[in-house]
A and B are shown apart, each in its own frame.
Chain A
Amino acid sequence: MRPFKYSKTNNVNTATQMLTVNPTAKFLAGGTNLLDLMKEDVERPNELVDVTQLNLVQIKPITNGLNKGGVSIGALGNNTDLANDAIIRQNFPLLSQAILAGASAQIRNMATNGGNLNQRTRCQYFYDVTMPCNKRAPGSGCGAFEGINRMHAIFGWSENCVAVHPSDMCIALVALDAVIKVQGPKGEVRSIPFVEYHRLPGDTPEKDNNLHQGELITAIEIPKNNFAGKSYYLKVRDRASYAFALISVAAALETEGTKIKQVRVAMGGVSHKPWRAMEAEKFLVGKIADEANFKLAAEAEMQMAKPLEHNKYKIELGKRAIVRALMQAMNGQKLNS
C-alpha cells in the first residue's frame, strides 16, 4: 500500500473542505472496499479523511416534506444496523433482505450505508493491475470485453467497460425510489434521485457515480410506499452465500383486488449501475398479478439485453429470476423451503 496521511474530523463541513483542499484525498468510512483496492494498488489516495466520527448514523421517520411518512437513513450507520432496524424491517423489508444477501456478517458490521453506494463498480480486470482496464487506467482498453466476461453486464455497457455494480443494497434502494442527500464543500446540499446517482460507463467508465469531489453523502431517504407486504429480494449466485450475484432481482408489488396497482422491479449483476427494469414495470401496471403476466414482463425487459461471449446464460436466468422474485413477492417475504 502506498503511504497516505490519515486525518479525521467530527465536522461535516471540515470533512468536505479537506477533500476540496486536497483533490487526491478520499473519505474513509467502513473501508471494506477502499482498503482492499489500496492494497492492490488500484486506489492510490495520498490522504484518507476518516469520517466515521461524523454524527450521521440515525435512522428516523420523515415527518414533513415531500417524503413524509418515509424514512431517513444516516449515511454513516452500518449495514447491519440498517438491516435490523425495526422500522426498516417492518416497512421496508425489501431493503433488509437485500442488505442481508450481501457480503458477510463481518463486512456488514463494518460497511456504512453511504459507503455501500460508493463501492466501486468493478471486475477482476479492474483489480489486476497487470491487465488493461479503462476504469482503472483510462485509455488502456477493456480486458473483459473480449476476455472472460461470465460475470459481466448485459444492459447498458459500452466497449469501454462491461463491469457490474456489485451492491445488493442498492438494488433495493433503486426499486424503492430512494433519494440521496449530499453536502458539498461550501455547505450546499442537494438531492439526487437514486436512479440518477450511478452512471453507465459510456466514454467515462472511470466515473461510477455523479458525486462531485468534496461532496459527502449525508443521508438516504426512502419515500413511503405500500410494498411492505409484497416484496422480495432474490439473489442467484455460484455458491449459497458470500458471493456476488450472477443475477439478483428486487421485486415489490401493490395490488388492488387481483390487479397490479404499482410495481417495482430492479436487477443486480446486469449493469454498471443498479438496473431499474422499467420495461417490466410498464408492462405490469394494471395487469392481473399472475405468473403468465410476470413471464411476459420478464420477456419485455430481457429482450433489450445484449449479452457478451460468456454471459448469454444471464438472459434466461434473468427471465426466470424476475418471474420467481415477483411470485415470491406475492407470497410475502417468506422463503419457499
Chain B
Amino acid sequence: MNDDLQNLELSEDEKKLYEELLPDDINELSDFGAQRRHFLKLMTAAGGGILALQMLGAQEIFGHPVSESAMSELQAASIENSVKVAFRVNGSGKSLTIDSRMTLLDSLRERLQLTGTKKGCDHGQCGACTVMVDGRRVLSCLTLAATCEGKSVTTIEGLSKDGELHPMQAAFVKHDGFQCGFCTPGQICSAVALLREAKNGEASYVTSDIRSKPRSLKLSDDEIRERMSGNICRCGAYPNIVAAIREVHSGKEVAQKWQFVSENTKQIVRIDEKIKTIQ
C-alpha cells in the first residue's frame, strides 16, 4: 500500500460506508494511516475499491446487509451521471441508482444478481442477452437500463412457475436443445416470445402471404429458423432447438432423437473394452 494513501483521511462517504459495514469498529475509527489501510485493504480485497460497490453490491462482498438507502446515497455520490430507475423484474419491483451508461444486461447481472441472462458479444450480434421487456424480446446489451423506467422485464429466472419449468424450458431439456448452454437462456426467452408473435399473426421474411390479415400462424420449421436467426448457438444445437420450439408451438409431441445409455448398451461397451484390453 502506498504511504501517501495511508496518510489520507477518510471521506464522509467512506466513513458512512465503514459505519454500515463494520459497526463494531467505528468507535476505533481514527485518522491514523493504519485504519485507512485496514479500510482500503477491505475494499481492495473485495474486488476493486469503491467501484466494487457499484458493480457487485456490498451485501455480496461483505456478507452482511447494508441498508438500501445508505447504498443508494453512497452510489449517487460516487456515480457519474447517475440515474434513478424503477422497473419490475420477474414480477417484483426494483429501484436502482445507476451510471447512465449501464445496460439492462449489466444491471440484471451485476446489480440484481440475475446471472441467467448471458453476456455473449455485448454488441447485439449473438442474442445471448435476450430478455422480454413488456412481453417483447429485446437485446438487453443494447438497452440502457435508464430507458426501462416503469417497464416490466422477464428474464430466464422468471419463466418457471411454482417450481415447474416453463413448457419451453422442459422442451429444451427433452430435445437436448443445447450443448454448452451459454446461449440457452437467450434462446429460451426468444422462443417464448416467438410463441406470442405467431399467435398474434406477426409475419416474418419467409411468411408466404404478407398481405393476408394477421391471424394466428402455424409455423413451419423454416419459419422457426428464420424467426430464431437472432440467436446464435456456437455448439450447433439448432436442429434440437427447432424440435423443442416446434413441440411447444404445435402442442403436439415431437419424438426426441436421443436417449440415455441403457444398462444393456453399457454392458456391451464394457465387454468391448475388455476385449480391447485382452487384445
Which A residues lie at the B interface, using CB under 8 A?
A: 1, 3-6, 28, 31-32, 35-36, 39-40, 48, 50, 52, 80, 83-84, 86, 89-90, 93, 96-97, 100-101, 103-107, 109-110, 228, 235, 240-242, 333-335, 337
* Most chain B CB neighbours (cut-off 10 Å) among A50, A89, A93: A89
Interchain CB contact under 8 A, A6 and B136 = no
How far is it, in angstroms, between the C-alpha of A52 and the C-alpha of B147 when the chains are bound?
Answer: 8
Contact A50 B146, beta carbon cutoff 8 Å: yes
Closest Cβ–Cβ distance, residue A112 to chain B (whole Å): 12
Q: Specify which chain B residues have a CB less than 8 angstroms from the CB of A334 in the assembled complex.
A: 208-209
B138 — which chain A residues lie within 8 A by C-beta? 106, 109-110
13 A-B pairs with C-beta separation under 8 A: A4-B101, A31-B142, A31-B147, A32-B139, A48-B144, A50-B147, A97-B205, A106-B230, A107-B139, A240-B225, A240-B229, A241-B225, A241-B226
A4 touches B190 (CB 8 A): no
Give chain B interface residues in 210-226, CB to chain A under 8 Å.
210-214, 225-226
Question: Which chain A residues border B213 with CB–CB below 8 Å?
Answer: 86, 89-90
Interface of A is mostly: mixed
**Interface residues as binary, B87-102 with A (CB distance below 8 Å gives 1, 0 otherwise):** 0000000000001110
How long is the Cα–Cα vector from A80 to B204 in the complex, in angstroms?
Answer: 10
Instruction: Check if B80 is an interface residue, CB within 8 A of chain A.
Output: yes
Q: How far is the CB of A122 from chain B (nearest CB, A)?
A: 13
Given A6-B144, A241-B229, A1–B101 Cβ distance below 8 Å? yes
CA distance A32 to B226 in the complex (A): 20
One digit per residue, 1 when the CB lies within 8 angstroms of any chain A CB and 0 when it does not, for chain B 127-146 equals 10010000011110011101
User: What are the 8 closest A-B residue pairs judged by CB atoms, nearest first?
Assistant: A104-B230, A241-B229, A6-B100, A242-B229, A100-B205, A93-B210, A109-B136, A1-B101
Contact A28 B229 (CB under 8 A): no
CB distance from A248 to the nearest CB of B (A): 11
Instruction: Let me know if A105 and B193 touch, CB within 8 A.
Output: yes
User: In whole angstroms, how far apart are the Cα atoms of A315 and B20 in the complex?
Assistant: 69
The total number of A-B Cβ pairs within 8 Å is 121
Q: Is the CB of A110 within 8 A of B139?
A: yes
Residues of B within 8 A of A97 (CB): 205, 210
> With an 8 A cutoff between CB atoms, is B50 at the interface?
no
Q: Provide the residues of chain A in CB contact with B143, threshold 8 Å.
A: 31, 110
Q: B interface, how many residues as a size bin?
A: 35 or more
Q: Using Cβ atoms and an 8 Å threshold, which residues of chain B touch A333? A: 209-211
Contact of B203 among A6, A40, A48, A89 (CB under 8 A): A89
Give Cα A89 to B210, complex, Å.
Answer: 6
Give the shortest distance, in Å, between A287 (CB) and chain B (any CB).
Answer: 26
A32 to B58, CA, bound (A): 32
Task: Report the bound CA distance from A110 to B99 in whole Å.
Answer: 21
Pairwise interchain contact B211-A31, C-beta atoms closer than 8 A: no
B122 at the interface (CB under 8 A from A): yes
With beta carbons under 8 angstroms apart, the residue of B83, B124, B193, B210 that contacts A6 is B83
| Bound complex: CA A170 to CA B68 (Å) | 47
Smallest CB–CB gap between A178 and chain B, Å? Answer: 18
Contacts of B176 in A (CB 8 A): none
B123 at the A interface (CB under 8 A)? yes
Q: How far is the CA of A52 from the CA of B80 in the complex (A)?
A: 23
Chain B contacts of A50 at CB under 8 A? 146-147
B206 at the interface (CB under 8 A from A): yes
Q: Are B208 and A335 in contact (CB under 8 A)?
A: yes
| A39 with B123: CB separation less than 8 A | yes
